[in-house]
Chains A and B, each alone.
Chain A
Amino acid sequence: MLRAVSRSSQCAARAASTAPAGSQKGPNIVLVDSVRTPFVTSGTLFKDMMAVDLQKEALRGLIRKTGVDYKLIDHVICGTVIQECKTSNIAREAALLAGFPDKIPCHTVTLACISSNVAMTEAMGMLSTGYANAVIAGGTELLSDVPIRYNRKARKAMLGIQKAKTPMAKLQIGAEIVKNLLSPELPAVAEFTSGETMGHSGDRLAATFGVSRREQDEFAIRSHTLAEAAARGGKMSDIVPVFVDGKKPVTVKADNGIRVSTLEKLSTLKPAFVKPHGTVTAANASFLTDGASAALIMTEEYALANGFKPKAYLRGYQYVAQDPKDQLLLSPAYVIPKIIEKSGLKLSDIDVFEIHEAFAGQVLANLNALDSDHFCKTFMGRSGKFGRLDMEKINRWGGSLSIGHPFGATGVRLATHAAGRLKEEKGRYAVIAACAAGGHGVGMLIEAYGK
C-alpha cells in the first residue's frame, strides 16, 4: 500500500487514504467509471437482440462516457453464462463491434451469476502483476434467447450423415433425425451435480433459516420500492440508453422490471418451485433479465496520470465455495466475514453493503446465518455468531429482485452501486457479496475515493 503512495507524488496527496491492512498488495486499483445498459425483463424490449449486441452497447457507452482513448486500454474481459456458441468469446466480438482496435486482446470468463465479478477481479490481477495499466471488465446476458439444441441422438445422426455412403444408410440416419426432432435439449436450469433447480434450493434455504413467506414478500417490496426511488432520484446514472431498431424503433433508457406492489397482492401468488408448501414465488425471486455492463479499471497512478477522476478503490476480493446442494446460495454468509476480517476491518467499519438478491428468502437466510451461533460455529469455525448486518446499509438503491439480474452483468452493477452509494451516503467502505451456481460466491471490498 505504501508502495502505491510513493509511486506517484501526484497521487500521494490525494491517496492519503491507504488500503486497509491485509488487503491485497500491489498498486492501488481504482474503478474509473462504469456503465450498464438498461436491465430489461427477458422477452420484452431486447428480445430480438443478441447478447453480443448488449455487450457492444455497454462497451461503446463506456468509451463515450469516459472518453478514454483506445490506446490506453490493454485488455478487455467480459463475463457471460448462457453462451451463444456463435460468439463463444463474446468479449472479442463485442469489442470489435464496439469499434475497438483489433490489437486489444479480449477474453471471456464465466462463473454463473458472478461472472462479471470474475472479469473485474481478473482485471485487478492483470493490473497487480504489471501486465496492464487499464482494463475493461464487463459482462452480458440475454435470456430472451437461449440455445435450444437438437438432442444428442439427433446431433449424432446429423454428424454421421456425411459419413453415410449408401442412400439406404442416409435414409436411416434421416429417419433417426426426424424421430428426434421434437425432443430438443434445453439449457440446464438445474445444478449439474444435484439436479436441483436454484429456486427449489432457495426455497429450502429459506425454510432452513426460518425465513417466512411474509418476510420474503416484504423484502421484495422493499427492493422494488428502493429501486424505484433510486431511479426517480437519478441514482441510476450508469445507464446508457440503447437504441433498438425495428419497425417501431425505440430508445430504451431505463430498467423495466421495477414495479412496486402490495403485500396483499404478493401473498396471493402460488409457490413457484416447492409445491404446495413452498415460500418462493415469482414475486420474491429475481426474474430473467437481458442486459450488459462494463467498467473501466486502472491503477490509480495510471488513471491520475491520464487525467481521470476515479470513483472508488477496488481494495480486495475473496471467492468461496461450498456444498452445491444445501448451501448453494449461502456464499454471502461465508464471504462477508472473510473479506472484512482479512482487510483488518470490523463489521461496524462497513458503511455500505451491496448483496446480490437472487431470492428474497436467500438474502434473508444469509443474514440469519450470520446472526446464528450454530451456523457460525459449525460452518465457519468461529467462536460465535458474526452478527446481524444493519438492514439500513443493504441495497438501498434496490437489487437484483427489482432492477433485474442479467447473470453475466450483475457483478459490475453491484460495484457501481457500491461506489455510488459510498459517495452519496458519505461512507468509506463498501462490501459487495454475491452467490452463484455451484455453491460459489464472491466478496469485494470497495473504498470511497478521496475520503
Chain B
Amino acid sequence: FRVSAMLSRLSQCRVSHLATPFSRHISMSQTLSAGSVAVERKGDVAVLKMNIQGAKENTLNEQLSSDLRSAIEQVEKDDSVKAVVLMSGKPGSFVAGADIGMLKKAKTVEEAAKLSREGQQQFDRLEKLKKPVVAAVMGSCMGGGLELAMACHYRIAVADKKTQMALPEVMLGLLPGAGGTVRLPKLVSVPNALDMMLTGKKVKADKAKKMGLVNQVIQPLGDGLKPASEATHEYLEKVAIDAARDLASGKLKATKEKGFIEKATTALTTNALMLDNVILKMAKDKVMKMSMGNYPAPLKILEVIRTGLVKGHDEGLLHESKAFGELCKRNETAALMGLFNGSTECKKNKFGQGKEVKEIAVIGAGLMGAGIVNVSIDKGYRSVMLDTNEAGVERGVGQITSQLNGRHKKKRLSLLDKERFMSNLVPTTDYADIANSDLVIEAVFEDIGIKHKVIQQIESVVRPGTIIATNTSALPISQIAKGSKNPEQIIGMHYFSPVDKMQLLEIITHEGTSKEALATATAVGLKQGKLVVVVKDCPGFFTVRCLGPMMAEAVRLMQEGVTPAELDKLTKEHGWPVGAATLADEVGIDVAAHVATFLGQSFGERMKGADGLLKEMIDAGFKGRKTGKGIFVYGSGKKGEKKANEDSIKILQKYKLAPKASVSSKSDRQLRIISRFVNEALMCLEEGIIASPSDGDIASVFGLGFPPFWGGPFRFVDLYGADKLVGDMNRYAAEYGIAFKPCNLLVQYAKSGEKFYK
C-alpha cells in the first residue's frame, strides 16, 4: 500500500524517536531507594554524578530532583569546593528528559504550572551558584536534561551518536517548562532556538558547538584499556574537571566576547519590532501552514519565547510555567502522549527472537521492493533484490543508491558505512541467488495468480523452513498461503510507501501461520526500524480496511460537488497530513478501485463505493500520480505542480449526486470522512483483528496519517465522545444508510461512557 511521502514529512513521524526516553520511566520513579546523585571530590572540584539505580536512562523525577538539590546545597556550602562538574554516572544517558509520571500526577492546570515553576526555581538556583558549574554531557540530553545543562555555566559534550541534545516537548504537545524557552534563545540564535523548540529536532555535539549550545566538544575514544563508552566517559570527566578548575581560576572564560557582527545580529533578532514583524511572524505562518492551527503547543512556544526575549528572564519564566500548565491539560497533549506510549509498545518484540536471519530476499524491485531492501541492507542484512528484468533491478538499485547518497550528503551516513551497506546488496534476476535466504519477502503485483506463481517459484529454490512473507495491502494471507507447500511459513508483511520514511509495518498472520514465522517477521521488522503492529487476517487487514470506507466517503463528497481542491483543504484542515483527493492519486486510482471493489465484495453494502466512476477514470488513463493524470493533472519534474483534471471532473459530474443539506456543513463533511474510518477501526477491535486500541491508534497514525492530535481512532472516540459520535453518525445514517451505522462497540461505549484509555 502506498501513501504519499508527504505523510512522513510531518513532524509526527519523529514522535516515536522520542518516545523511548520519556515513556519508559513512568514506573521507575517509585522504585528508587538509593541516592541518585553521588558527590565525588577531585581536589577542589566536586563531581556530581547523576545515576538512577536500575534504570537504563536518567530521568528528572522527584528523587533525582531532590537529590540534586541537596547535592548542590552541599557543594555550595563547602568552601573547599571551587568548581563543580555535573554529569551522569551512566555513559549512555545524561538526562533523557523529565519524568512524564510527574505530569500525570498533576490534576489541574495550576498543579502542572506549579511543577514547572519548581523546576525553574531549582535551575535558577543552580545558575546563580557562585562556583562555576560544568555540564559534562554524554548520552541523551533531552527536554529537562538539556534545560538542566543550559542552567550550568559551561557545557562539554561528546561527539558520539548517542549524545543528542533536544527539546522535544512540542511533540508531546508541551513546551520546555524548566526555563528552556528563556535560556535557549540566549545561547543560540533565535532562528536556531525556534527550530529546536518547534520541531524537537536532535542536535549532536559538533552541531551544538557551532550553534553555541555547547562550549567544548570531545571526540569519543575507542576500546582500549576498557570498553569504549567507559573510557570516553572517564575522559570526559577528566576534561570537564580541568575545565571547571580553569573556569574557577579565570584561565578559561565561559562566554567568549562577542564580535561586532554577532552583537548586531543579537540586537537585531531580539528586539520586539523585529520579532513581531519578521522572525516570529514568519515562524507563526509556517507553523499555521504545517499544523493548520490544530496544535496549540507551537503557537504557545512562540508567545513564550517572545516574552523571554522582550521582557526578560523572570517574566519569561512566569509565562513559560503558565503556558506549560495549560498545555498539560489539553486533549492534544493526551493524544500525543498516548502515541508516545503506543509507539514504545510497538518497538517491543513480544513473540521471541524466531529464526536467525542473515539474508533477506525481496522479490520485485519496484518502489516498495527496493524500499524494503533499502531498510534491510543498512541494518546489516545481506539482501538479495530480485526482479524479472534487468531494467527493473537497475531502477531498484538506483532508488537505493540515491537514498543512501542523500543521507551521505547530509552527513548522516559516512562514506564507509554507505559503501558497506551497498556491499550487502545483491541485485539479481536469477532465482538461484535467493537459495540461501532465510526470509523471502515478495512485493510483486497484487494479483492472487501472480502471487501464487511467485511463491511456488520461491519454494522451488529456497531451503525448507525459509519463511516467505507477502507484502500485500489487501489480499487475505490465507488465500495467498493456499499457493504454498508450507502454509505455516507464510506471513503477511505490509509495508507502507515510501518504506524508508514510513514507520509502520503491519504484520498479518493467517490461522496456520507458525509462531516461528511471526517471531521472525517481527524481529526483522523491528530491526528494520519499524513500529510493528500484528493483526489478524481479513480483507484489507486493519489499515486498508479502515481506509476503504473513508476513501469511499471522500469520493461521495466529490460526487456531491466538492471539488478535489476543496476536499484536500477540508481534510487537511481536519488534521490529515495529505488531502484525501491527493491521497487517492498517490495511492493510484486503479489500486484504490481494486481495493474498493474487493472490500465491497467482502463486506457488502457498508463498503460499497462508486465502482463505475473509478472504472471510467481508469479506462480514461487517469490512474493517479504515476500516470501524470488522476483526480489532478501533474506537471513534469519531481515536484511538478498539480492542477484539477478537467476531464476527470467531467467524469465525476456524470456520477453526480445531490448533496444532502442537513449533513453537508464543513464540519459534517469532515466528520463523515473520519467517522467511517473510526467506526471500521472499532469493528476491527470487536472482531479481534487488532489486539488493542493502542495498536489500532498506532497503525492509523503512523501508517495512514490519522490526525495525530486526535491520537488515532480510539483516542478520537475517547476525546470526541462516543455518545456525541453516535449521535452524528445516526444523523448521517438517516441520509446514507448502513455505511454510517455505528458498530456495536461504539454504541456500547456511548451508553456506558466507558473509555478506551483509562
- Chain A interface residues toward B at CB < 8 A: 192-195, 200, 204-205, 207-210, 274, 276-277, 323, 325-327, 365, 368-369, 372, 374-375, 378-379
Contact = CB atoms under 8 A, between A and B. Distances in A.
A310 to B, nearest CB: 40
Contacts of A368: 224-225
17 contacts: A193-B415, A193-B416, A204-B220, A207-B221, A208-B222, A208-B225, A208-B231, A209-B225, A277-B239, A277-B243, A325-B222, A326-B221, A368-B224, A374-B224, A374-B226, A375-B223, A378-B223
Contact of B216 (A192, A204, A276): A276
B80 interface: no
A210 B231 CA distance: 9
A326 B220 CA distance: 9
Contact of A204 (B222, B239, B243, B414): B222
Interface in B413-450: 414-416
Residue of B216, B224, B226, B228 ringed by the most chain A CB atoms within 10 A: B224
B455 interface: no
Interface string B502-526: 0000000000000000000000000
A287 to B, nearest CB: 23
A202 to B, nearest CB: 12
Most chain-A Cβ atoms within 10 A of its Cβ — which of B220, B223, B225? B225
Interface string B216-239: 101111111110100100010001
A194 B243 CA distance: 28
A326 B415 CA distance: 16
Contacts, number: 57
A375 B224 contact: yes
Nearest to A327: B222
B686 interface: no
A273 to B, nearest CB: 10
Given A276-B216, A277-B242, A326-B228, A208 B221 contact: yes
A169 B28 CA distance: 71
Given A207-B231, A374-B226, 5 more contacts: A277-B218, A326-B228, A369-B224, A372-B225, A378-B223
A325 B220 CA distance: 11
B225 A207 contact: no
A379 B225 CA distance: 11
A207 B416 contact: no
Interface centre among A204, A365, A369 (most CB of B within 10 A): A204
Nearest to B242: A277
B222 A194 contact: no
B219 A274 contact: yes
The listed residue with most A CB atoms (<10 A of its CB), out of B216, B222, B226, B235, is B222
A194 B609 CA distance: 57
A323 B222 contact: yes
A326 B414 contact: no
CB-based closest 3 A-B pairs: A326-B222, A208-B224, A193-B416
Contacts of B222: 204-205, 208, 323, 325-327
Contacts of B221: 204, 207-208, 326
Interface in B156-175: none
Contacts of A208: 221-225, 231, 235
B207 to A, nearest CB: 16
Contacts of B216: 276-277
B134 to A, nearest CB: 12
A365 B216 CA distance: 25
A200 B219 CA distance: 9
Given A208-B222, A208-B224, A194 B242 contact: no
A276 B240 CA distance: 12
A208 B225 CA distance: 7
B224 A209 contact: yes
Contacts of B225: 208-210, 368-369, 372, 374-375
A192 to B, nearest CB: 8
A207 B223 contact: no
Nearest to B222: A326
Interface string B700-716: 00000000000000000
Contacts of B219: 200, 204, 274
Nearest to A273: B219
A210 B238 CA distance: 11
B197 to A, nearest CB: 30
A140 to B, nearest CB: 30
Nearest to A193: B416
B190 to A, nearest CB: 29
B419 to A, nearest CB: 9
A205 B222 CA distance: 7
A329 to B, nearest CB: 11
B235 A207 contact: yes
Contact of A372 (B224, B242, B415): B224
B420 to A, nearest CB: 10
B238 to A, nearest CB: 8
A326 B223 contact: yes
A379 B239 contact: no
A379 B223 contact: yes
Contacts of B228: 326
A374 B231 CA distance: 12
Contacts of B223: 208, 326, 375, 378-379
Contacts of A210: 225
Nearest to A324: B416
A32 B314 CA distance: 83
A165 B243 CA distance: 63
B224 A194 contact: no
A372 B414 CA distance: 31
A327 B242 CA distance: 26
B643 to A, nearest CB: 37
Residue with the highest number of chain B CB atoms closer than 10 Å, among A193, A208, A326, A374: A208
Contacts of A323: 222
Nearest to B240: A277
B204 to A, nearest CB: 15
A327 B223 CA distance: 9
A333 to B, nearest CB: 10
B416 A194 contact: yes
B234 to A, nearest CB: 9
A277 B243 CA distance: 9
A210 B225 CA distance: 8
A37 B26 CA distance: 71
Interface string B188-230: 0000000000000000000000000000101111111110100
A197 to B, nearest CB: 11
Contacts of A277: 216, 218, 239, 242-243
B85 to A, nearest CB: 14
Nearest to B239: A277
B723 to A, nearest CB: 62
A238 to B, nearest CB: 35
Interface string B526-541: 0000000000000000
Interface in B249-291: none
A379 B222 CA distance: 12
A323 B224 CA distance: 12
A286 B483 CA distance: 69
A195 B216 CA distance: 20
Contacts of A378: 223
B177 to A, nearest CB: 34
A323 B218 CA distance: 20
Given A207-B235, A277-B239, A193 B224 contact: no
Contacts of A205: 222, 224
